[in-house]
Amino acid sequence: MKSNLQTALGLKCGIVQAPMAGGPTTPELVAAVTAAGALGSFGLAYSGVDLIHAQCREFRELCASQRLKPDCGWNANFFVFPQVPEPAHAEVANAVKSLQPLLVRVDIDAGTLTHDTRLPVLRDQVAASLEYQPSLVSFHLGIPDSRIVDNIRDAGVRIAMSATSVNEAIAVQAAGADFIVAQGYEAGGHRGLFDPADADDMLGTLDLVTAIAKRCTIPVIAAGGIMNGSDINAAVNCGADAVQMGSAFLTVDECGSSAVYRSVLESMGDRDTQITTGFSGRPARGIRNLFIDSVDNMALPFPWQNSLTGALRKAAGAKNDFELMSLWAGTDYKKARNCTAAELIEILQHEMRQE
Ligand X SMILES: Cc1cc2nc3c(=O)[nH]c(=O)nc-3n(C[C@H](O)[C@H](O)[C@H](O)COP(=O)(O)O)c2cc1C
Round to the nearest angstrom and report the end-to-end CA distance of the chain.
16
Whichever of 75 and 210 has its CB closer to ligand X, that residue is 75
- State in angstroms the smallest separation of the CB of 327 from ligand X: 8
Is there binding between residue 252 and ligand X (CB under 6 A)? no
- State in angstroms the smallest separation of the CB of 96 from ligand X: 25
List 240, 329, 344, 352, residue binding ligand X (CB under 6 A): 329
Whichever of 79 and 92 has its CB closer to ligand X, that residue is 79
Whichever of 87 and 192 has its CB closer to ligand X, that residue is 192
Residues from 92 through 131 that contact ligand X (CB under 6 A): none
Rg (CA), the chain: 19
Q: How far apart are CA 84 and CA 72, in angstroms?
A: 37
Sign of CA dihedral 340, 331, 307, 77: positive
- Give the interface segment with ligand X, choosing from 50-58, 128-136, 212-220, 239-247 (CB under 6 A): 239-247
Q: How, if at all, do strands 179-183 and 189-190 pair?
A: unpaired
- Between the alpha carbon of residue 128 and those of residues 49, 117, 131, the distances in Å are 6, 22, 6
- State in angstroms the smallest separation of the CB of 97 from ligand X: 28
List 115, 140, 282, 334, residue binding ligand X (CB under 6 A): 140
Helices (H), the chain: 4-9, 27-35, 49-65, 89-105, 122-130, 146-154, 166-174, 205-215, 229-237, 259-267, 290-295, 304-308, 310-318, 341-354
Residues from 198 through 227 that contact ligand X (CB under 6 A): 223-226
Which letter, b or e, does each residue of 154-179 get, where b requires 16 or more Cβ atoms within 10 Å of its Cβ? eeebbbbbbbbbbebbebbbebebbb
- Give the interface segment with ligand X, choosing from 101-109, 245-253, 310-318, 340-348 (CB under 6 A): 245-253
- Give the interface segment with ligand X, choosing from 15-23, 54-62, 90-98, 213-221 (CB under 6 A): 15-23
- State in angstroms the smallest separation of the CB of 325 from ligand X: 11
Residues from 258 through 317 that contact ligand X (CB under 6 A): none
Whichever of 43 and 310 has its CB closer to ligand X, that residue is 43
Strand order in the sheet with 15-17: 15-17, 242-245, 220-223, 179-183, 158-163, 136-140, 74-79, 40-43
Residues from 32 through 51 that contact ligand X (CB under 6 A): 43, 45
- State in angstroms the smallest separation of the CB of 170 from ligand X: 19
Contacts of 274 (CB under 8 A, 6+ apart): 285, 286, 288, 292, 296
Number of residues counted as binding ligand X (CB under 6 A)? 28
Site of interaction with ligand X (CB under 6 A)? 18-21, 24, 43, 45, 77, 140, 162, 183, 186-189, 223-226, 244-248, 328-330, 332
